[in-house]
Structure 1
Amino acid sequence: MIRHIVLVKFKSDTSEQTIQNLFDRLAGLREQLPGMRDFDASLSLSPEGLEQGFKYGICVDFVDEAARDAYLALPDHKALGAELVGLAEGGINGLVVFDLKLG
């Protein structure tokens, strides 16, 4: 299984409603991909305070790398990814993406 992790620094004027709407639409991509297992996104709850401005995180679990690659190639994912970059502080520099192999 692959866990796709995205950390986001949203622009300060981005509303909670805008963020939640984007997260909901990203979660909805599950309908197009049977290999997309779980989707979670939220504000950081860490008491350590080490987020370095990356206050939101997204985790998406895929059954394998092929399912992750299919997700990345989806036109709807590309459009939502572009929207995410547009809402991030500094554009692409306001994101960190990291994929882990689980198990």
Structure 2
Amino acid sequence: MIRHCVFLRFRDEVPSSVRLSIYGDLEILCAKLPGALMIKWGPNVSPEEGMDKGYSEGFILDFDDAAARDAYLVHGEHQAIAGRIVSSTVDGTNGVFVFDMEV
């Protein structure tokens, strides 16, 4: 299984409605993709002050395997959502941290 972790530094002026719309659209997309097992999203709640490096929110997607993850990455709807994310984060792609691992 592949766990796709994405951590975000949204710009302060991006309203919660935009953030929720992004997460909602990711949920809709993942519900229809073969091999997408689950998505969870939310704010960072770690008590370790300063360790988040400013990444205040994020989401995690689990996939059956790397092929399912790879299909998600090139999917047109994912590309559109990713564009919205990048345009909403601090300094574009510098406001997005992606980490995938086998679990």
Aligned to 2:94: 93
Match of 2:73, as an amino acid? L
* Count of aligned pairs: 102
Q: CA deviation at 1:27?
A: 1.1
Consecutive unaligned residues of structure 2, counting only runs of 5 or more, are none
Aligned to 1:62: 63
Q: TM-score, normalised by structure 1?
A: 0.95
Aligned to 2:41: 41
Q: CA deviation at 1:31?
A: 3.0
Q: CA deviation at 1:75?
A: 0.2
Could you tell me the percent identity over the aligned residues? Answer: 34
Deviations 1:23-68 (A, max 9, x none): 0101111233120001011011111121111000110000000000
Aligned to 1:28: 28
Structure-2 separation of matches of 1:27 and 1:84? 14
TM-align CA RMSD: 0.8
Q: CA deviation at 1:16?
A: 1.1
Consecutive unaligned residues of structure 1, counting only runs of 5 or more, are none
Higher deviation after alignment, 23-32 or 86-95: 23-32
